[in-house]
């Protein structure tokens, strides 16, 4: 039998109220609370799937599970980051993420209101390439890839993939020019 966690990990519809997932979120929340209270780097190392040398995360930080977050080397998450890691979030090397950024992998059924009512959801991964800068308040939606050396302007809502070496801004986020 396929578990709700296995469904989550493969991008299928799953129920987030599953006891295993609830327990994992509670365990992650304990570590998040400890990190936010202490700024202890070893807590992030325990929480994240992987974290590269020289990277750091400012408090207040929030996530669902933690183990699906992979942060490259020399990367930075500023204050109040929210990373909903129901699917893998891969952040490259030398990435700077501004305050109050949100990386949101969760998806909810649009056409099937009954599935929504029963708390089914799915998820799609987010990938951020090397040397990307996300300005403050940027929201990156499920399934999006941002190419290396790109800059996303503050307050942008990224709903589609962004190619490498561009400046993109707005809601929805659009490429303004090449870099």
Task: Decide: 134 and 147 in contact? Cβ < 8 Å.
Answer: no
152 band by pLDDT with thresholds 50, 70 and 90 = very high
Domain-wise residue ranges, the chain: 4-178
pLDDT in tens, 90-137: 999 999 999 999 999 999 988 899 988 888 999 999 999 999 999 999
State mean pLDDT over 138-164.
Answer: 98
- Kindly list the distances between the CA atom of residue 149 and the CA atoms of 4, 19, 128, 130, 137, in Å, as whole numbers in the listed order: 36, 40, 10, 6, 19
Which has more pLDDT, 87 or 31?
87
Q: In the prediction, which pLDDT does 141 show?
A: 98
As a whole number of angstroms, the distance between CA 2 and CA 14 comes to: 10
The confidence score (pLDDT) of residue 38 equals: 78
5 Cβ neighbours under 8 A, 6+ residues apart: 14, 18, 20, 21, 24
Which pLDDT score is estimated for 40? 67
Q: What is the pTM for the complete model shown?
A: 0.88
User: Given a cut of 70, is residue 172 above it in pLDDT?
Assistant: yes
pLDDT at 145: 98
Res. 163: pLDDT tops 80: yes
pLDDT category of residue 32 using cuts at 50, 70 and 90: confident
Predicted pLDDT at 36: 81
- Looking at the chain, the whole-number percentage of residues with pLDDT higher than 70 is 98
E strand intervals along 11-55? 14-15, 50-51
Q: Of 80, 85, 102, which Cα lies nearest the Cα of 152?
A: 102
pLDDT in the model for residue 39: 64
The residues that are catalytic are: 108
Q: Is the pLDDT of residue 170 over 90?
A: yes
Whether residue 3 is predicted with pLDDT greater than 80 in this model: the reply is yes
Q: Encode burial over 114-137: b for 16+ CB neighbours within 10 A, e otherwise.
A: ebeeeebbbbbbbbbbbbbbbbeb
Whether pLDDT at 161 is above 80: yes
Domain 4-178: assigned CATH number: 2.160.10.10
């Amino acid at each position: 039998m396929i578990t709700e966690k296995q469904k989550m990990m493969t991008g299928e519809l799953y129920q987030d109220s599953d006891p295993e997932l609830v327990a994992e979120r509670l365990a992650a929340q304990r570590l998040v609370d400890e990190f936010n209270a202490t700024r202890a780097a070893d807590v992030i190392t325990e929480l994240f799937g992987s974290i590269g040398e020289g990277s750091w995360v400012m408090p207040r930080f929030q996530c669902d599970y933690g183990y699906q977050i992979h942060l490259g080397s020399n990367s930075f998450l500023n204050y109040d980051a929210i990373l909903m890691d129901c699917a893998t979030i891969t952040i490259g090397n030398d990435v700077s993420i501004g305050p109050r950024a949100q990386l949101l992998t969760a998806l909810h059924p649009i056409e099937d209101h009954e599935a929504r009512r029963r708390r089914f959801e799915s998820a799609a991964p987010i990938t951020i390439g090397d040397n990307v800068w996300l300005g403050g308040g940027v929201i990156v939606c499920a399934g999006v890839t941002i190419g290396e050396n790109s800059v996303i302007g503050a307050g942008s809502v990224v709903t589609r993939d962004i190619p490498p070496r561009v400046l993109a801004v707005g809601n929805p986020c659009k490429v303004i020019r090449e870099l």
